[in-house]
Amino acid sequence: MNKPNVSLQGLVSGTRIVNYIDNQIITDKKNQLYCKIFFNAKTKKGFFDRFFSKNNEHFDYFKGFITQNKDLLTNESTDIFRDSSIISYFEGNWTRYIMIDGLKTWNFEDFELPEYERSQNLIPSDESLRLDLSNVLASRINEAQIAHENILAIEASDNALRNEYYKMRNLLK
């Protein structure tokens, strides 16, 4: 298995994005199967276009095929997906859908999140136990302010205790 090249964008400014580019080949020697994955196959731009044009395409697009014909791995033809020796082909977008042999096998819109039950054994610092937040959410602003001031007083007391310990141990500079 070879590793695909990686493109890193937005180092100086903008959003930092890491994308796979070019292609990857995976070999299953036991079953004599070969898989070639093309990453971002739709995005072909010139050198200056990359700097001066806005790209609205999604970089998480991929397509590929599985075959027993090793020669297809080096074929750069655009008609490669019409070759009769291809066992299966696939394409998709990591964050939206995956299609295998023309059938949408995974679609984000169809994905349902599992139901979660809240734990009954919360740790004391869990945010759901903060009275200031629960009072704000219930629109009890005065009670939230009082609860928040109590939290600040506890934090100040804890900080004073830490500083006293550090002074005692000569750890405070």
Mean of per-residue pLDDT scores for the chain: 83
pLDDT value of position 59: 67
Report whether pLDDT(125) > 80. Answer: no
CB 64 within 8 A of CB 40: no
Q: What percent of the chain has pLDDT over 90?
A: 34
Tens of pLDDT, residues 71-111:
888 877 667 777 888 999 999 988 889 999 999 999 998 88
Identify residue 28 by its one-letter amino acid code.
Answer: D
CA atoms within 13 Å, Cβ hemisphere of 36: 18
Report whether pLDDT(146) > 90. Answer: yes
For residue 134, the SS3 value is: helix
Distance CA 94, CA 11 (A): 23
Query: Exposure pattern of 16-26 as b/e (b: 16+ CB <10 Å)?
Result: eeebbeebbbe
Helical (H) or strand (E) element with 21 = strand 17-28
Tens of pLDDT, residues 135-144:
998 999 999 9
Report whether pLDDT(27) > 90. Answer: yes
pLDDT value of position 167: 86
Report whether pLDDT(169) > 60. Answer: yes
